[in-house]
């Protein structure tokens, strides 16, 4: 065993990747990611004692958020970047420590090795990484609770970073992240205390998604019902993938009038629903499907591709020179567009010049898909929706948010969507939608049977919709609504979405295509007993169960 990682749904054998990730992550990168997390825990141990909101806190917060985000599945595969981050992290840790000493704080009780170790060469880092990985926590239940918390916090970090990029921050959220990370070094916590912090994580999950929703909608307007073109134009194009809307905005501005078109890919599709982006004539539409098909679709796109976040699939040599990363994303040997300096926009001129020399994209699909049903738009249709429920035209809603992935067993979600009774509506968000957003499922009195709220973080919208319906129907409990939750997960953002839903009191969520490898049998039992979490079965049986026919 040269590494151990079990943070995503593809963990080898539903247990963990031990030599190379199924995602393509090499053992050296996996180990350096472990060491980066360890370094962030050390920073957190000091930072929870530093109460000032000043430039030190700003640097610490930014480092923690970006560091965590870069370790999310399929975000960053670049060894050099992780070495740099660890070095920077150690320097930041020492800076906070110094600041605490200066103000006379007693830090002698901070004795955990993550707060004390200090090395500087790659060889030393690699040696150190061997002793700080996930398996260094021996008790499998403690390990499970700690990792569940860390993955929730990673997802939270991703959303916090997008909000931060738009100028929206909330110190309480980052303070919780530090507290949570520090808690994973504390051997004195009881199981109940650890479960408590995991559930508290869900509260901050709701907060961070609300913050990002505010950032996105105040900056770019409320998403509105939109028909998105999935065909191509005749100009060369740039394909933009990932979740960062600030990158989207700057790319659209800088490409205007250059003769280069812009297309979204995978989780960037919802950018098409925002008024501020729709106005650009050279914003053609969406190209391709969910992340895992990129090996074929990036080939035929012909132009450069900008990855603003996860999910990157290790690129084929044939198009590797057309891939650019930015933000927390990275891949060895791929060009990285650097961060904003002094509030100025990123410089996308290199990718734009590159695009001009490329052929236009090959058409792989034609037609349109419909989306933009975030909370504001759905609430504008509330009367229609409520009437449809009252009249029995809509019997049940199915929240099918989350992630897509390459496992064949995920065809379950396509089959499930097809097999649902015609008087049901799917509420979706995240890249999970690609399993059914191109099926012709029709509508119910003008309400489409698949309502796409947006990116995975827009699951928040689905929760807002559910809470509104609860109010309209005068119910006491969100679980009395005719809504079932059949969620597909892949990476750690889905973990924070799940914890957020649990915090809102949602019960009986079904999670697939497999349950997380990081849930020990005892921790899984806590989730089953308290929240009715379950896996998936056959399409037929599950539909009967959800429709109350069993
Ligand atoms: Fe394996 Fe997933 Fe970890 Fe990649 S992120 S190494 S696929 S568990
Ligand atoms: Fe997808 Fe990677 Fe999770 Fe944002 S892009 S949902 S998997």
Other residues' Cβ atoms within 10 Å of the Cβ of residue 86: 24
Q: Are 372 and 223 in contact (CB under 8 A)?
A: yes
How many other β-carbons are positioned within 10 Å of the β-carbon of residue 401? 32
CA 461 – CA 169 distance, rounded (Å)? 19
What is the Cα–Cα distance from 144 to 142, expressed in whole angstroms?
Answer: 5
E strands along 21-84, which residues?
none
Whether the Cβ atoms of residue 236 and residue 260 lie closer than 8 Å to each other: yes
pLDDT of residue 550: 57
Q: How far is the CA of 138 from the centre of ligand 2 (A)?
A: 31
- Predicted confidence at residue 16, as pLDDT, reads 98
SS3 229: strand
Paired residues of 428 in beta bridges: 452
Two structure tokens written together for 32: 């350096």
Pocket test for ligand 1, best of 15, 17, 70, 155 (most atoms within 8 A of CB): 17
Topology of 381-546 in CATH? Rossmann fold (3.40.50)
Residue having the nearest C-alpha atom to atom 2 of ligand 1: 8
375 Rama sector, left if φ>0, alpha if ψ -120 to 50, beta otherwise: alpha
Write the DSSP symbol of residue 20.
Answer: B
Q: Distance (Å, rounded) from C-alpha 42 to C-alpha 36?
A: 10
How many helices, marked H, and strands, marked E, lie in the chain?
Answer: 20, 15
The answer to whether the CB of 160 is under 6 A from ligand 1 is no
The pLDDT value recorded for residue 192 is 96
Ligand 2 pocket, 301 CB below 6 A?
Answer: no
CATH number of 1-136: 1.20.1270.20
**Coil/strand/helix, residue 514:** coil
- CA of 72 from ligand 1 middle (Å) equals 9
Nearest residue (CA) to ligand 2, atom 2: 311
From the annotation, which residues make up the binding site? 5, 8, 17, 23, 243, 267, 311, 403, 431, 456, 491, 493
Of the candidates 176, 186, 178, 174, the one whose C-alpha atom is nearest the C-alpha of residue 146 is 186
Q: Are 332 and 79 contacting, i.e. CB atoms less than 8 angstroms apart?
A: yes
Its CATH class, for the domain covering 226-356, is alpha beta
Same fold, 1-136 and 226-356: no
Phi, psi of 182 (to 5 degrees): -60, -35
Closest ligand, as measured to the CA of 268: 2
Ligand 2 atom index nearest CA of 456: 4
Q: Is 244 near ligand 2, meaning CB less than 6 Å away? A: no
Which residue has a Cα nearest atom 3 of ligand 1? Answer: 5
Distance between Cα 107 and ligand 1 center (Å) = 36
Q: Is 73 in the pocket of ligand 1 (CB under 6 A)?
A: yes
Is 21 close to ligand 1, i.e. is its CB under 6 Å away?
yes
DSSP for 338-391? PPPSTTPPP--HHHHHHHHTSPPPPP---SEEEE---HHHHHHTHHHHHHHHHT
The string of DSSP letters for 291-339 reads: GGGHHHHHHHH-S-EEE-SS------HHHHTTEEEETT-B-TTSEEEPP
| Ranges in the chain, pLDDT < 50 | none
- The finding on whether 22 has its CB within 6 A of some atom of ligand 1 is yes
Q: Of all protein residues, whose CA lies closest to atom 3 belonging to ligand 2?
A: 403
Strand partners, 26: 20
Domain spans of the chain? 1-136, 226-356, 381-546
Distances (CA, A) of 134 to 28, 29, 122: 15, 14, 20
Q: Is 431 in the pocket of ligand 2 (CB under 6 A)?
A: yes
Nearest CA to ligand 2 atom 7: 403
Check pocket membership of 312 for ligand 2, CB cut-off 6 A.
no
pLDDT, tens digit (0-9, with 9 covering 90-100), for 372-402: 999 999 999 989 999 999 999 999 999 999 9
Q: Is 37 exposed, middle or buried (0-12, 13-18, 19+ CB in 10 A)?
A: buried
Work out the number of other CB atoms within 10 angstroms of the CB of residue 112: 17
């Amino acid at each position: 065993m040269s590494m151990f990682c079990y943070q995503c749904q593809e963990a080898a054998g539903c247990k963990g990747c031990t030599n190379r990730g199924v995602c393509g992550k090499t053992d050296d990168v996996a180990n350096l990611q472990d060491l980066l997390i360890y370094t962030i825990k050390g920073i957190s141990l000091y930072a929870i004692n530093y109460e000032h909101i000043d430039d030190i806190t700003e640097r610490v917060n930014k480092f923690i958020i970006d560091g965590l985000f870069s370790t999310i599945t399929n975000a960053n595969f670049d060894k050099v970047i992780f070495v740099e981050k660890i070095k920077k992290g150690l320097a930041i840790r020492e800076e906070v420590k110094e600041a605490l000493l200066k103000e006379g704080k007693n830090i002698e009780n901070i004795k955990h090795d993550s707060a004390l170790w200090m090395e500087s060469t790659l060889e030393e880092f690699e040696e150190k990484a061997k002793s700080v990985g996930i398996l260094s926590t021996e008790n499998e239940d403690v390990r499970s609770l700690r990792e569940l918390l860390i993955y929730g916090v990673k997802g939270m970090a991703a959303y916090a970073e997008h909000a931060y990029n738009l100028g929206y921050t909330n110190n309480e959220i980052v303070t919780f992240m530090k507290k949570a990370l520090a808690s994973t070094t504390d051997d004195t916590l009881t199981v109940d205390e650890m479960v408590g912090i995991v559930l508290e994580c869900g509260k901050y999950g709701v907060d961070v998604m609300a913050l990002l929703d505010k950032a996105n909608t105040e900056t770019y307007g409320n998403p509105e019902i939109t028909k998105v073109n999935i065909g191509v134009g005749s100009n060369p194009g740039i394909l933009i993938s990932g979740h960062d809307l600030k990158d989207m905005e700057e790319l659209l501005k800088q490409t205007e009038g250059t003769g280069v078109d812009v297309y979204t890919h995978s989780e960037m599709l919802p950018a098409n629903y925002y008024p501020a982006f729709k106005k650009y004539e050279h914003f053609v539409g969406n190209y391709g499907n969910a992340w895992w098909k990129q090996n074929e679709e990036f080939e035929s796109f012909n132009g450069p591709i900008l990855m603003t976040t996860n999910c990157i699939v290790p690129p084929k040599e044939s198009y590797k020179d057309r891939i650019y990363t930015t933000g927390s994303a990275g891949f060895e040997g791929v060009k990285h567009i650097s961060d904003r300096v002094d509030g100025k926009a990123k410089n996308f001129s290199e990718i734009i010049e590159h695009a001009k020399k490329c052929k236009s994209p090959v058409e792989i699909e034609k037609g349109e898909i419909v989306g933009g049903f975030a909370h504001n738009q759905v609430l504008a249709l509330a009367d229609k929706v409520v009437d449809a429920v009252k009249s029995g035209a809509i019997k049940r809603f199915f929240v099918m948010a989350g992630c897509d992935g390459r496992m064949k067993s995920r065809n379950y979600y396509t089959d499930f969507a097809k097999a649902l009774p015609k008087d049901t509506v799917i509420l979706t968000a995240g890249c999970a939608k690609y399993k059914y957003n191109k099926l012709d499922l029709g509508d119910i009195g003008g309400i489409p049977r698949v309502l796409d709220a947006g990116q995975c973080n827009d699951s928040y919208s689905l929760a807002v919709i559910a809470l509104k319906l609860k109010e309209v129907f005068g119910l006491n409990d969100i679980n009395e609504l005719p809504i079932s939750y059949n969620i597909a997960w892949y990476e750690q953002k889905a973990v924070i979405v799940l914890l957020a839903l649990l915090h809102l009191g949602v019960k009986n969520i079904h999670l697939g295509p497999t349950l997380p490898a990081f849930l020990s049998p005892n921790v899984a039992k806590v989730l089953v007993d308290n929240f009715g979490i379950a896996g998936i079965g056959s399409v037929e049986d599950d539909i009967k169960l959800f429709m109350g026919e069993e």
